[in-house]
Structure 1
Amino acid sequence: MNSPAFPIDPLLPDILRSLAAHPRLVLEAPPGAGKTTRVPPALLDAPWLGGRRVLMLEPRRVAARAAAGFMAKQRGEAVGETVGYRIRFESKVSAATRIEVVTEGILTRMIQDDPTLDGVGALVFDEFHERHLSADLGLALALDVQAQLREDLRIVVMSATLDGDRLARFLDAPRLSSEGRGHPVTLTHFPARRDEPWQAQLRRCVEHALAAHPGDLLVFLPGQREIAQAHKVLAGALGEDRQELLPLHGDLPVEEQTRVLQPAPDGRRRIVLATNVAESSVTLPGVRVVIDSGLAREPRYDPNSGFSRLETVAISQASADQRAGRAGRVAEGWCYRLWPESQRLEPARRAEIHQVELAALALELAAWGEADLRFLDPPPPGALASARELLQRLGALDGSAITAFGRRLLALGTHPRLAAMLLAPEDAAERALACDLAALVEARDPLRGSRRDDWAARWQALAAYRAGRVPAEASRAALAAIDQAAKQWRRRLRIDTPPPADAPAHRLGDLLLHAFPDRIARQHPADPRRYQLANGRSARLFDDSALYGEPWLVASELRLEERDSLILRAAPLDQARLERDFPNRLVEEDRVIWDAQRRGIAAVRERRFDRIVLETKPLARPDPARYADALVDAVRQLGLDALPWSDSLAQWRERVRCLREWLPELGLPDLGDEALLATLEDWLKPALAGKTRLDALGADELAEALKAGIDWHLRQRIDQLAPVRITVPSGMARPIEYRHGEAPVLAVKLQELFGLADTPRIADGRVPLTLHLLSPAGRPLQVTRDLKGFWERTYPEVKKEMKGRYPRHPWPDDPWTATATHRAKPRGT
């Protein structure tokens, strides 16, 4: 079958020549250029491919199916022959398949399972500008494979709007650009009326576009909920006799997706209500008008749940341009934007790696065994450290190494929390129930407008839906989607047992605790609404909580607040089940602790689950070696002021702080409050050995403990560069006062400085002292850091005023040559 010409076709020979000479390529091509469906087939006969397969990544399932279908059709074949695809829970490939279109998580699994990528000659990353986390990881893994195992592997990164120059520099790759295929598009901002709901604004805009312009309409909305609302409003206002309303999103059945991607058979105009799946890689025939809400659902880290959740956000300018371009594919088009013209958009989409939860990424990196993969944007260190801490709690990591259990979690291809829950139960009915919970946790809340904080109500609504009853407060569509997701999980885990029709509320918690071991909570003995969490924090219930009175909970969602977090969603659990499933986290130990209420040391035998204290008994004869730990804890609670600071030690600490600022090359340690409190075990604990009271620590012992980390030669340099005293021209050694945030001060009688022309300096001459010049009676006369200027301009006035008041002290006309003294003139002179 002859293929239609695409703008990218003239560039295909250059692409093949580049890949013959260089193993990597950056290809920039706007939407409509044909890069998605023309580049992979063009590679099949390249000599360097040697008959091997081409894997192409597509960010979305709709686009993956559509791209595979289009390429197969151009070859006159069915999908699954030369061209096939693999997406989550669905695969159409065969032994004859040479082009596989896969979604991003699938590629990661393929590389992890076979790092040599046997039989694969090229990897094509399509729509890389969307900057999905899994695409960034897939590229990092591919680059590592290419560098260490497969020099012959070709990597093509294709993008419509990304900074191609930056990407080419990162990859050390040639960069080719293609023209797009498009017609002029007229842009208009369609204003909302005052206090007008978005649904009404959209209806008016659609009515206007249908009347003013030919062709089909493509409406961009953020998600399925908005698509359903828009469908209802438009169907009521327009009817569906002269036009057809079609949704388009990733969860549609394949048949309905295919229908949207084909021209209307009956000639009716079509209004396609789409998420951003229609932004790139999917071509909709006949579209002449785009109506853009300016919104999209994108993943953001939700600290309440510990997951990344889809959040409605404003799109980037690059996305807005791509959406508008969809109106100009076949002829002149029009784009109506539903946001004010004054609103400014971010230039480009931010990489997901900076704004999502990283537990899955951390697990992938541990499985790969290489922590130094090259990422276009490296993962934030703090977020990665938190992710690894969670994985250790789940049992997926031992230190930084992946465990056998961690590899089982990875194989499930979902968030490690949910994978841990799915693998925990041994009983078949419980495993089926775990599939329900995984589907519920991943889905949007099926209870509309409800503030109920218990999981039981949601699972019972799902069970009622299966029995043919839908509670009034529940969404039938949401429950249907959850039921379907649970079926997919049961199929994936080969569970034939149906979920139970009824289950005690604590049975849900007994499973959820495997997903949220850090959020297991025990009721406070003195306040039934407060709970202590396994991670050491506290949490509280709503006043009207359905969970009131439960002794144990597992909280899947928490609103993190400064003092007590608020429990948004939780389930009760059975303590016996907790102790059975997590015996290694139950600890019994003797502790000597600081009792803040009694301001003294208490010795106890504690039984704990993580940081939840289950039982405490007093100890009659504690181990004396444990007292130092308790005293360190006391200082941590009371602050450094609880220690016996002498004035001289406080000044020495300030001298060190000053020298760290003035002469950083000395490499002096940080002795600020924060640094000292963070390292109490290192510098203070040895000095507390053998002591049973905090006040038993003497000032000299504290000074030696603080100075112990600085060797003798460096201590000598401190005394030289920031001396305690300085000798003035009178021959007397006067103290220097060091003050935080101010220059050091030398307070001295004016007569003691006669003959000194310039301000004294310390720190190898880098820092002038602030002189507090005093009268013979020790009262301040002048503050200056310019002694020469004082002698020249100010001293004559001071002499005139002071000479009569202090006649027995010298007030020479020429202070430059006068002899400095700290005494009065002898009597009779």
Structure 2
Amino acid sequence: MGDNTLTARLPIESVLPDVITQLNERTSAVLVALPGAGKTTRVPLALLEADPAWLKGKRILMLEPRRIAARSAAAYMSALLGEPVGRTVGYRVRMDTRVGPGTRIEVITEGVLTRMLQSDPSLAGVGLVIFDEFHERSLQADLGLALCLQSRALFREDLRLLVMSATIDARPVATLLGDAPVLASEGRIFPVRTDYLSSKPEGRLEELVVRTVMRAMAEESGDVLVFLPGAGEIRRVEQLLGQQHLDAAVTVLPLHGNLPQEAQDRAIAPGKPGVRKIVLSTSIAETSLTIEGTRIVIDSGLMRVPMFSPQTGMSRLETVRVSKDSADQRRGRAGRLSPGVCYRLWTEQEELYFDPHRVPEIEQADLAQLALDLAEWGTTDPGELSWLSEPPAAAYRQACELLAQFGALDRNGAITAHGRRMSEAGLHPRLAHMTIRAMSLGLGSTACALAALLHERDLFRRGASGTASADLRLRLDALERARNGGKPDEAMALFGLQADSAAVKRALAEADNWSRALGITGRGRIDSDACGLLLALAYPDRIGQSRGGGKYVLSSGRGAVFAEIQELSNAPYIVAAELDDKGPESRIQLAAPVQLAELLQRFGDDIADESVVAWDRTVQAVRARVRKRFGALVLSDAPQSGPDPEETVRAMLEGVRVEGLGILPWTKTARALQQRILFLRRHDEAWPDLSDEALAESLPEWLEPHLEGIRSRSELQRLNLAAVFEAVLPWEKRRKLDELAPTHLIVPSGSRLPIDYGDPEAPFLSARLQEMFGLTDTPRIAGGRVAVTIHLLSPAQRPVQVTRDLSSFWRETYFEVKKDLKGRYPKHYWPDDPMSAVPTNRVRPKT
């Protein structure tokens, strides 16, 4: 690594003079250099060697997307200088810093830049910020660039910015930087043969990978680098390879972000002579790292990315297809130092549908940390900054609401003292809030241990058999045992869990680091009984209330369920720390029980006392209740005496709306009055619309004034609905109603017969034929505009004729009807001249 003759042959050397010249003349540049060009290690050193005026006495900050890449780059550059890390070249990553007073190049992870900008927005003492591997589009890189651009605009017009990448679309970045020049360098990629699958793969991914590894080991020489989506797949492939009776000279090494630094260093270090390495890696090895000896790349074509859903307010890790540029980056790992081969575990046809570039993390990630960072920066509106991709409005708004719930933001969106302390904690805002609040409860050590468990993937994986418990208390107990010298695996197998000893040690170390950072003195006991309360502080939106059968409703309103019935699934209240956010009900993966008394005590300000006066369909009455509500959860529910009369009336109206108008006391009189008014409206729209549809839509206008004192369906029956309808009519129309639409007509026999207005087109009157003798003009209503339809009946009250023209009936039809009926009803009166005959409501008229 210290051979400087190697650097002289790097392709990047040809463009280094242009990089120096452009940064001398301008404050921004974009450098596109293919994998293997040497940009990561040569550009900072070349600029330091050139020592331009703008850099004199100042440092270079170079951002790397991962800790392992930052440490590796710093170590490589230091070796080229023949120095230890921390002298001229150093690094700053989370919980690990190696810099000295003479350090001129600091390789840092992206979150470190944000912290540096927050403490010194002008970046005094910094001449250049390099954003390496910017094509990965991490959220922190996008934020860091936006903050640097505003810092330069407000405080440091001389601050230089250099964006470097192998596969990025350079033009949008150059435009964002103020039409910065784009410089390009060819990579030193040796020929790489690419093998695709002949058909779409079937079966388990891990088995396909192992078969491909064994094939590659037999066909090719050199070390193997396998890209897998996550640590779980790496572990399973490692187990399967262990069953293949590999040669003793073959070493299988995992590589992912959760491994200790020593294990990561072993994976990327040159192999021993005569020993072949099989490195099983996540996308951590996709860029920046050179794993010497690698000639073979096996790419699963998958990666795991965090996805945030504004609809549910939850994030989940989702396995997705890599983009084309990521696949090319991975392929290039095989040709960094010699010709190689890349086995792609997909078909060429499938590749046609790959996205060209990866989706920027800012577009699909949880934005709580971003919102807190911007608030600390002093802005409540992301639009005030220049972004390559702006934060999605819905996710950002939800992040601000969460921070406000924590008390990190005030009502104007400005950061509070508590928010600043959360920002300084170096944890996700949820965990930062939890640990800070826990200190006042004397639970700081427990909170730090819990934060260490939640910060990474679950340290306790499913064992070989049995139900795997989701209970986080078990995991805290295991940490406490390990801290006191015991074995974390003890008792875990009973719950279907298996501990990762190295991960447990790392979690304990992280817990101790956070305790020191928060000023917690002494090593307090890890109290697993407090787990539920602490989780509630971090996840107030995921407090769950049992619905029975392992199902819960969360305070956010979302449904959640335990995939496997276990002791924890009987708890009345739980807090879900991890859910899969799939389907209508998320599966609970990590949780702990919490007591109702704890919620009432600790979340009093967030628990609303509400009076609920509502229609209850089960009892068909208005019920008044007093409830304590936490989000979507009803913590208590008791009867309320003396509810507000107005609320009772509104609830009663809702009852009528829900049950329908059939709940009202429809008497014949009420229905007849409705029909009469509708008949008149048919001919004059000045009359009100009392159709069922219109009545249902206007309940408050006509029914509300009559509901005082009524609280149930049975009490509603006391209502005089006809009087309610009459009240709708103005006085003038009420006076004219009987005149224009009479309820009855007096027919020639003297009988007073009702008019049926059921059909507003044809109101009718039914009368026995003998009662109508002598009437030649058909009765008319609605001011003479409408003839009443006459249903003429036989002596047995059966219709024999329907007419609107009595005169015509007597002249033309009567005699046919008479001939038919006289034979059947000989005792009845059948005169020869109906128009002059005496009408009668008897069998024969009185003589």
Same-fold call, TM cutoff 0.5: yes
1:773 alignment partner in structure 2: none
2:444 maps to 431
Matches within 5 A, 1:173-252: 173-174=179-180, 175-189=182-196, 197-237=204-244, 239-252=246-259
The number of aligned residues is 666
Note the 1:8-27 alignment, pairs <5 A. 8-27=12-31
User: How many angstroms apart in 2 are the aligned matches of 1:641 and 1:479?
Assistant: 69
1:441 to 434, 445, 454: 454
The one-letter amino acid paired with 1:580 is Q
Q: Is the 8 A contact 1:394 1:517 kept in 2?
A: no
After superposition, residues 277-292 of structure 1 pair within 5 angstroms as 277-292=284-299
Structure 1 residue 85: Cα displacement? 0.5
The 5 Å alignment of 1:16-415 reads 16-44=20-48, 45-174=51-180, 175-189=182-196, 197-237=204-244, 239-301=246-308, 308-344=315-351, 345-370=354-379, 371=381, 372=383, 373-399=385-411, 400-415=413-428
Which residue of structure 2 lines up, in the alignment, with residue 418 of structure 1? 431
SS at match of 2:346: coil
- For residues 656 and 579 of structure 2, the distance between their equivalents in structure 1, rounded to whole angstroms, comes to 31
Rounded to whole Å, the distance in 2 between the matches of 1:38 and 1:247 is 28
Number of the residue aligned with 1:487: 509
Partners of 1:512 and 1:426 in 2: CA distance: 14
* Letter in structure 2 aligned against 1:481: A
For residues 230 and 149 of structure 2, the distance between their equivalents in structure 1, rounded to whole angstroms, comes to 34
Q: 1:500 to 1:427 in 2, by over 3 A?
A: farther
Letter in 2 for 1:488: E
Q: How far apart, in 1, do the equivalents of 2:214 and 2:582 lie? A: 47
Alpha-carbon deviation of 1:564? 6.4
Equivalent residue number for residue 733 of structure 2: none
Report how far residue 83 of structure 1 moved.
0.8
Instruction: Give the distance between the partners of 1:219 and 1:529, measured in 2 at CA.
Output: 39
CA separation in 1, counterparts of 2:544 and 2:415?
27
Q: Judging changes above 3 Å, is the alpha-carbon distance between structure 1 residues 625 and 368 closer, same or farther for their aligned structure 2 residues? A: farther
Asked whether the 8 Å contact 2:200–2:346 carries over to 1, the reply is: no
Give the distance between the partners of 2:454 and 2:655, measured in 1 at CA: 42
SS of 2:462's equivalent in the other structure is: coil
Q: How does 1:630-645 map to 2 (within 5 A)?
A: none
Please state whether the residue corresponding to 1:289 is helix, strand or coil: strand
For 2:482 and 2:427, the matched residues in 1 are separated by 25
CA apart distance, 1:601 = 5.0
Q: Which amino acid aligns with 2:503?
A: A
CA distance in 2, matches of 1:641, 1:330: 84
- Cα offset for 1:28? 0.7
User: Any conservation in 2 of the 1:22–1:173 contact (CA below 8 Å)?
Assistant: no
**Counterpart in the other structure of 2:500:** 478
* Residue type at the aligned position of 1:448: R
CA displacement at 1:244 relative to structure 2: 3.4
SS across alignment from 1:51:
coil
In the TM superposition, residue 8 of structure 1 has moved relative to its aligned partner by 1.1
Using the TM superposition, name which of 11-20 and 203-212 deviates more: 203-212
CA distance in 1, matches of 2:376, 2:161: 22
Residue aligned with 1:402, SS: coil
Matched, 1:579 2:600: yes
Q: Distance in 2 between matches of 1:339 and 1:132?
A: 26
Check if 1:454 corresponds to 2:471: yes
The 3 A distance-change label for structure 1 pair 531 and 222 is closer
Equivalent residue for 2:11, pick from 7, 11, 23: 7
CA deviation string 1:508-561 (max 9, x = no partner):
11111101112223446xx68665543345656668342354333223345668
Residue 500 of structure 2: SS of its match in structure 1?
helix
Q: How far does residue 224 in structure 1 lie from its aligned partner after superposition?
A: 2.9
Q: Distance in 1 between matches of 2:360 and 2:378?
A: 24
Kindly state the Cα deviation for residue 152 of structure 1 after the two structures are TM-superposed.
1.3
1:131 Cα offset (Å): 1.0
SS of the equivalent of 2:15 reads helix
Give the conservation status (yes or no) of the 8 Å contact 2:172–2:388: no
272-281 or 479-488: which moved more? 479-488
Q: 1:554-589: CA deviations, max 9, x gaps?
A: 233456688766655432222332233222123335
In 1, the alpha carbon distance for the partners of 2:632 and 2:418 equals: 24
Which residue does 2:591 correspond to in 1? 570
8 Å Cα contact 1:439-1:482 kept in structure 2: no
Which residue number in structure 2 is paired with residue 552 of structure 1? 573
Q: Work out whether residues 63 and 109 of structure 2, in 8 Å CA contact, stay in contact via their aligned partners in 1.
A: yes
| DSSP-derived class of the 2:427 partner | coil
Specify the code of the residue in structure 2 equivalent to 1:153. Answer: L
Cα pair 1:454 1:571 within 8 Å, conserved: yes
Distance 1:356 1:634, change over 3 A: farther
TM superposition shift of 1:628? 8.7
For 2:356 and 2:661, locate their aligned partners in 1 and report how far apart those are by CA, in whole Å.
49
Counterpart contact for 1:54–1:99, Cα < 8 Å: yes
**Per-residue CA distance 1:26-55 (angstroms, 9 max, x = gap):** 111111111111112233312122321111
Over 3 Å counting, the alpha-carbon distance change for 1:593 and 1:180 in structure 2 is same
Aligned counterparts, 1:668-707, within 5 A? none
- Shift, 1:166, TM fit: 2.2
Cα 1:689/1:536, change in 2 over 3 Å: farther
TM normalised by structure 2 equals: 0.70
Determine the C-alpha separation between the residues in 1 that align with 2:177 and 2:292: 36
The residue type paired with residue 368 of structure 1 is: W
Question: The residue matched to 2:373 in structure 1 has which SS?
Answer: helix
* Cα separation, 1, equivalents of 2:658 and 2:104: 65
Larger Cα Rg: Structure 1 or Structure 2? 2
Supply the AA of the counterpart residue of 2:424.
A
Deviations 1:590-645 (CA, angstroms, capped at 9, x unpaired):
45445555666554444444443344454544455667986898799899999x9x
Gaps (5+ residues) in structure 2?
664-673, 679-696, 729-847
For 1:744, the equivalent position in structure 2 comes to none
3-state SS of 1:401 partner: coil
**Deviation string for 1:66-99 (max 9, x for gaps)?**
1111111122211111111011111101111111
Cα-Cα RMSD: 4.1
CA 1:410–1:633: 2 relative to 1, 3 Å: farther
Q: Quick one: structure 1 residues 262 and 589, their matched pair in 2 at CA, closer, same or farther if it must change by over 3 Å?
A: closer
The change in CA–CA distance for 1:211 and 1:181 in structure 2 (over 3 A counts) is: same
Whole-angstrom distance in 2 between the partners of 1:547 and 1:636: 42
Going from structure 1 to structure 2, the CA distance change for 1:534 and 1:199 (only over 3 Å counts) comes to closer
Confirm whether residue 509 of structure 1 aligns to residue 532 of structure 2: yes
Preserved CA contact (<8 Å) 1:439 1:483: no
Note closer, same or farther for the CA distance 1:562–1:283 as it changes in structure 2 (3 Å cut).
closer
Render the CA deviation track for 1:672-692: whole Å, top value 9, x for unaligned.
xxxxx9xx9xxx99x999996
CA distance in 2, matches of 1:147, 1:69: 34
- Counterpart residue type for residue 492 of structure 1: W
